[in-house]
């Protein structure tokens, strides 16, 4: 069954603020004129990110890049970080099979190249991205937006790292590096992608959270703290960006069978087990990103799997003292 993708709007009102210059690089033209020829901040900004009518030109005005034609305006797009392996790779393949053009970005560029070769033809645009570096974000967004005519339906902030063990046994540099990737990476992505999300009707940000943000986890102290930050950022932006027609959601898996988990062990992992694989999380992400024909309230937080769902639901009604006792029991088992 074809998915009910939102149809981009084309309106003559957009002609009120055409680009004043056609010189310079695509990046320079976007900085001067906004997305798709609309001045960001103008009365018409945000009407649409694609399909902009320009006087004297037939059809949409694409932002072409590197000699590659942009995607058709009716094809949805998604940018995924940490896409070379694990949850990111599975999510990229799931979106590609669902008809999206996928921007698959990772610090491991050879991994995203292999991903592109294994996916349906012309469905994945691979590239390098260090999520801790705002300049790297700008370069990646420029490259992908050149392919999509400025359209960004979904941003999946998946990139993350984990170090397990006693807090004082993990080197301080590693302690600081975890929030740089897990928190700063999400902040950078949300901040720098916002103009493109705002210009795309019904855009959606999906942040990878964790069941470790329900209650702080022993042997995962800094990782757990970083996911609490992602939780708070998601809740705040969901409120702020409603006015921009941007949904913001946090996805909450428990332990997932990835290379990251294979090399890091904790008492809670031994107690609860590893019962999810990357495809379970990918299926949930694509499901919540897919537009619905009916309008029902959607939760900001979406647990993945029976364990995470039960833990999240019980945490909403369990007193903190009891929640602490439960987590102490899990850690000791």
* Radius of gyration of the CA atoms of the chain, in A: 21
What are the structure tokens assigned to 94, written together? Answer: 């799931």
100 classed as catalytic: no
Nearest to 186 by CA among 251, 149, 230: 230
Nearest to 126 by CA among 149, 147, 154, 157: 147
Cβ neighbour number for residue 188 with a 10 Å cutoff:
22
DSSP code of residue 234: H
- Paired with 204 in beta bridges are 154, 247
The DSSP string of 247-304 is EEEEEE---B-SHHHHT---HHHHHH---B-HHHHHHHHHHHHS--SS-----SEEE-
Report how far residue 297's alpha carbon sits from residue 301's, in angstroms, rounded to the nearest whole number: 12
Nearest to 303 by CA among 242, 249, 226, 223: 249
Set 100, 105, 196, 223: catalytic member: 223
Q: Which residues contact 33 (CB under 8 A, 6 or more apart)?
A: 17, 18, 19, 20, 21, 39
Catalytic residue numbers, as ranges:
223
């Amino acid at each position: 069954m074809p998915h009910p993708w939102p149809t981009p709007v084309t309106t003559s009102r957009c002609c009120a603020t055409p680009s004043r210059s056609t010189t310079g690089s695509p990046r320079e033209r976007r900085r001067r004129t906004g997305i798709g020829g609309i001045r960001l901040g103008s009365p018409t900004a945000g009407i649409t990110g694609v399909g902009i009518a320009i006087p004297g030109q037939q059809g949409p005005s694409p932002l072409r890049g590197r000699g590659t034609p942009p995607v058709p305006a009716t094809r949805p797009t998604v940018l995924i970080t940490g896409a070379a392996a694990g949850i990111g790779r599975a999510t990229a393949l799931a979106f590609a099979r669902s008809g999206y053009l996928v921007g698959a970005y990772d610090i491991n560029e050879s991994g995203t190249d292999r991903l592109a070769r294994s996916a349906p033809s012309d469905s994945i645009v691979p590239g390098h991205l260090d999520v801790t570096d705002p300049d790297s974000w700008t370069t990646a967004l420029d490259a992908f937006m050149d392919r999509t005519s400025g359209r960004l339906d979904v941003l999946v902030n998946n990139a993350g790292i984990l170090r397990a063990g006693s807090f004082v046994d993990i080197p301080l540099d590693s302690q600081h590096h975890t929030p740089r990737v897990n928190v700063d990476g999400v902040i950078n992505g949300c901040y720098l992608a916002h103009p493109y999300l705002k210009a795309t009707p019904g855009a959606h940000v999906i942040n990878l959270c964790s069941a470790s943000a329900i209650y702080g986890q022993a042997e995962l102290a800094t990782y757990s703290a970083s996911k609490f930050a992602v939780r708070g950022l998601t809740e705040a932006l969901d409120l702020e960006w409603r006015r921009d027609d941007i949904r913001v959601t946090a996805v909450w898996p428990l332990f997932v069978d990835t290379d990251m988990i294979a090399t890091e062990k904790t008492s809670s992992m031994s107690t609860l087990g590893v019962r999810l694989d990357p495809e379970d999380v990918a299926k949930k992400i694509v499901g919540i990103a897919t537009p619905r024909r009916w309008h029902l309230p959607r939760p900001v937080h979406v647990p993945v799997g029976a364990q995470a769902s039960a833990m999240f639901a019980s945490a909403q009604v369990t007193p903190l003292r009891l929640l602490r006792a439960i987590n102490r029991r899990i850690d000791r088992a």
